[in-house]
Amino acid sequence: MISINDHIALDEREIEFLMIRAQGAGGQNVNKVSSAVHMRFDVRASSLPDELKEAVLALGDRRISKDGVVVIKAQTSRSQDKNRGEAIDRLVALLQEAAKPVIPRKATRPTRSSQRRRVQRKVMHGLTKQLRGKVGQD
C-alpha cells in the first residue's frame, strides 16, 4: 500500500509497470538493458474515493489521457528500481496535489487611498500622452 495522505492509500496492484529502454547516451549497455519505466495508472478503475478521482481528472495535467489513465515515464537513473521509485513518487505527488482542498477566494475591496492613487496615475499618464500631440499654431 502506497500512502497518499493520512486517509487515502493506493494499492500497488492497481499500477502497471512496463520496462523500456531509456533514451539518450548510455554506454555499452544502451541497447541491452531496459532501465526506463513506463507506468500506467487507470484513475477510473482505481479504488480511490470518487471525489479524488474527479479532482485528478479535472487537473488538466498532460500526463492524464482522455481515458483517465495517468502515464508517467521515468528514466533519469540507470537503475530500474530507482526509476520505478521515482515514477511512484511522481504519481503520489500528482494525487496529493489533487487531494488538497480548494480554498475559496475571499473578495476584498480596494482601500480609498489605493483608489485615489490609481486615479492620480491615470491622470498623470493622460497628461503625458497629451503632451505628445502636435504643436498647434498660435
CA dihedral 48, 15, 74, 70 (to 10 degrees): -50
State the chain's mean pLDDT as an integer: 81
Contacts of 45 (CB under 8 A, 6+ apart): 14
Supply 32's cell numbers: 541491452
In contact, 67 and 51? CB cutoff 8 Å: no
Mean pLDDT, residues 76-100 taken together: 83
Q: According to CATH, what is the number of the domain 2-99?
A: 3.30.160.20
Q: Tell me how crowded residue 104 is: count the other CB atoms within 10 A of its CB.
A: 6
Q: Is the pTM of this model over 0.85?
A: no
pLDDT tens digits along 99-130: 888 889 999 999 999 999 999 999 999 999 98
